[in-house]
A and B are shown apart, each in its own frame.
Chain A
Amino acid sequence: DQQVKQNSPSLSVQEGRISILNCDYTNSMFDYFLWYKKYPAEGPTFLISISSIKDKNEDGRFTVFLNKSAKHLSLHIVPSQPGDSAVYFCAASDPVGGGATNKLIFGTGTLLAVQP
């Protein structure tokens, strides 16, 4: 039972264009969402996060949008650069099921390829 879903295994965009990565979740109790970026042979690194009390958070070229009614969040990268090519994981924090543990539930990841 996948509580966090990334339905697109891969995405290819041209350099300079917008990349939109999507994530859906099933548990309405999730209160905090994060995006991690992972290069081959490296561990995931934190990219951007959003609290459930907000609907948008922006950091430079990266913006995360949260639609609680649809249980959907998306990561926008504008403009996309070849160095953005990586696997992107969506993750959610469950304050009820996870308790005071800071456990994260991850999606399956989306491989983004930015073509020069």
Chain B
Amino acid sequence: NAGVTQTPKFRVLKTGQSMTLLCAQDMNHEYMYWYRQDPGMGLRLIHYSVGEGTTAKGEVPDGYNVSRLKKQNFLLGLESAAPSQTSVYFCASTLGLGEKLFFGSGTQLSVL
């Protein structure tokens, strides 16, 4: 079982460049989330989706956009990368309320 798959695993960007992180899950989960992990900050929610075609802002949404055109995919976009967006990004999904989250293995992004 693949579970939650994130691509790419590593990426280096220059300030101002754009990129898209892809998250794919094969568990037919309704809810999907994007988190970022920074030293001393834990995991902070960027955006989330409670179903296909829906998205909503989390705790730290500025500088990011998301799309959920298909139930199994949740895309995170950076339109104009900034050094403050250097982080490890985790995608997660869950079947529904009260269910545990399944995480991908993360994307290490460096913005120079």
Contact = CB atoms under 8 A, between A and B. Distances in A.
A100 B97 contact: yes
Contacts, number: 60
A2 to B, nearest CB: 8
A107 B101 CA distance: 15
Contacts of B45: 103-105
A89 B43 contact: yes
Contacts of A45: 103
A32 interface: yes
Contacts of B100: 34, 46, 49
Give the contact-size bracket for chain B.
20 to 34
A108 B58 CA distance: 17
Nearest to A90: B42
Given A100-B97, A101-B50, A108-B41, A41 B105 contact: yes
Interface string A73-110: 00000000000000001010100000011111111110
Nearest to B33: A103
B60 interface: no
27 contacts: A4-B42, A36-B101, A41-B105, A41-B106, A43-B92, A43-B103, A43-B104, A43-B105, A43-B106, A44-B101, A45-B103, A46-B100, A89-B43, A91-B43, A101-B56, A102-B31, A102-B94, A102-B96, A102-B98, A103-B33, A103-B45, A103-B48, A104-B45, A104-B101, A106-B43, A108-B40, A108-B41
